[in-house]
Structure 1
């Protein structure tokens, strides 16, 4: 006969795992879906780009992205990718490794009827490498800050970006001109906001 403690333990083990709790929300700051709320799942390392940084980024880029091909490499909440789509980008590919976040992104895109958004599941660096050379007008790189993905992502992005295109890099430190030059990139803009360093990069030369 099971003790009360054993019964409680068995009952707990039989319960399905609880879904990931929400950790708040962010809002799209511009374009046709301005003020639309995006849920932020409770995931390790998930860190949505702050509103102020997103607003500054799209002031740098301009508010009309008509005709642009964009890739949000580590999409997470989709805040960056949906900002680009909201401003009229022709196509925004959102890549994310976490299946739960992929499902969430697809749900948001369906709710917005965002025909210019396509959600992919997979490795971020591999997703960049699948792009034709010089095909992307904007690559959005915001990997987990504790990862080793920064350099390989930048190396791949330097090949995928169009001659007149941009690479957005969000990182826990500032990348120097010398480091970027070794990757064939140059810094166009830089902003520090709290612990975030936002870089807008272009192909060197």
Structure 2
């Protein structure tokens, strides 16, 4: 991805960092989640972020992860492959003095092939459009032990993309907005 400059920003809607604006690098393919979609998602997740261990796959600008951290998530791991975007995430964590956040610069699929230190309670998946990364990411999350029982998984992909998800995930909510389709799943408790 080529760096075009440093022209954008994201806004944190609610919580500890409410109203804070964070710079976002203008990188090819980077599309931060809109405030409208973000607000809808966090209304759906009412009360689920407090104390949650959050994993933001394909973090990009970190809009979802930073919002969860602002709403009192216990920890946040932001995974981003692009070196410049990852550096911006580190800088933005420092701006917020958010010690519960950590950035991993890695390919998400390679990183999820590892064993997790602990399972996540809330996962955001917003892969680049046109790369068919949603289904393999969901599969690795489930098969690799990355999710706690009852974990919430949010998936944001291009409108019209069909993808499969694990059979023990229940579709909780979904929306279509512009070029985006979004789905929120809850992982059913396994015995």
TM-score by length of 1: 0.82
| Change in CA separation of 1:60 and 1:116 when aligned onto 2, cut-off 3 Å | same
User: Could you say which residue in structure 2 is the equivalent of 1:139?
Assistant: 123
Q: Distance in 2 between matches of 1:66 and 1:204?
A: 20
Unaligned segments of structure 2, at least 5 residues: none
Unaligned segments of structure 1, at least 5 residues: 1-17
Tell me which of 163, 173, 188 is aligned to 2:149: 163
Q: Distance in 2 between matches of 1:63 and 1:20?
A: 38
Q: Distance in 2 between matches of 1:145 and 1:204?
A: 28
CA contact (8 A) 1:141 1:167 kept: yes
Give the CA deviation at 1:63: 4.5
**CA RMSD in angstroms, aligned pairs only:** 2.3
User: Could you say which residue in structure 1 is the equivalent of 2:165?
Assistant: 180
Instruction: Give the number of the structure whose residues are more often helix, by fraction.
Output: 1
Q: Distance in 2 between matches of 1:131 and 1:71?
A: 14
Deviations 1:35-68 (A, max 9, x none): 1112232211101001011111111111562321
Larger mean Cα displacement after TM superposition, 125-134 or 148-157: 125-134
Give the CA deviation at 1:130: 3.0
Q: Distance in 2 between matches of 1:131 and 1:204?
A: 21
Give the CA deviation at 1:128: 3.0
Count how many residue pairs are aligned between Structure 1 and Structure 2.
186
| Change in CA separation of 1:197 and 1:46 when aligned onto 2, cut-off 3 Å | same
Larger mean Cα displacement after TM superposition, 32-41 or 63-72: 63-72
Tell me which of 83, 91, 103 is aligned to 1:99: 83
Q: Distance in 2 between matches of 1:187 and 1:174?
A: 17
Q: Distance in 1 between matches of 2:160 and 2:16?
A: 32
